Structure 1
Amino acid sequence: SLKWTRAQLNGGRLTRQRRKASAWNAFVRAKLNRANETRGPGERYRLPAYISAHYAELQQTYARLSESEKKKLRLGIDDLRAMRVNIVRSNPKALLKDVNSTFNTMEKEVFISEATCSWVCIIGEESSRSATQRLPLSKLVSLSRKNIQDGLDNILQKNRLASKKIKMNYENYEKNIVEVYAVAING
């Protein structure tokens, strides 16, 4: 589904809902970075080992911080979060389904707009003729059916939905035209 695909690509709820930055986390991160500056690549502290080794010292130092210093630490974390680039995971099959469904929807919209345009053209031609001359009802019905058939043929040929001409079926229109070829006449 589209919801599942978006969750896979964007990492789900975790990327959308962030918690407020913790001053304690920012403080410990800064202390750990300072402690690791002088150490070599193989000798650096890992976070759990550093906290367990220096827990009492970290708590005492953190307790002495003022609210403004804690706020400054939180803002520093917020800046880091803003600069961080979220890596998007890709699921090729789900992405392909999403793209295909989008294109299918676009094709159907184009289809419907072309059918509507041809119907408006048919109505426009008939209204201009009837203003100048009166035709019998049977002639008007046959002209309307001919114009509808021509419009249906044009749409089917443009979109390559049928290789042969399809006869308009007025009795079973929904079943034979709309459901099979996804073409609907509006108006």
Structure 2
Amino acid sequence: MMHPRLLATSIAVVIWGCGSAEAQTLVLGGRAGLTSATQWLNQPYFGYQRVHGTTAGVAATLELGPYFAVQAEGLYVEKGARYYTSYQMRMSYLEGPLLARLSWPIASSRYRLFALGGMAPSVELRCAGYQTVNNPVVNFFDAPPGTSPLDCDSQRQRHTDRSQVMGGGLAFDRGPSQVTLEFRRTRGSDIAGYDC
């Protein structure tokens, strides 16, 4: 549920950022990048290491004025967790970030710094992994020796997620197109039944 102050602030930002209809620009494009994901537990003696993956998809950005834009994306995202060589879980998601973007032009150039934030609902497409077994047998799958396939259903309770997104970057307007370089942090909800 959205808090009243957050709702009022959001409405004020939209009204402040909206210009006339002539100033509105729709930018369509692709997204590609790398992910570095980990899972955090409330147990200080046990922590997962990062799993690296890729992300790719499409985006639509509606610039409502020189300082404010709204952005919707459809992304394929790889996430997961690992614990040294004894455990690894890789999950693929279809993610739909809905973001607000505030930007600041750099002097009179075509470069703009921006900050963005919002939410990213997602649904799991696939889960796979491995874990160490005490009595290894012959491996019939692509995993390190002495491991067995991971039962993903025992590792998490939900197949959907709703993440908070924060980030920033640099946008460069080049005629009718726009190039953006951005860094974002996405914090998901607790899909495992632990305090993530």
TM-score, normalising length: structure 2: 0.20
TM-score, normalising length: structure 1 = 0.20
Larger Rg over CA atoms? 1
Which is bigger in relative contact order (C-alpha 8 A, separation at least 6)?
1
Query: Which is helix-richer, 1 or 2?
Result: 1
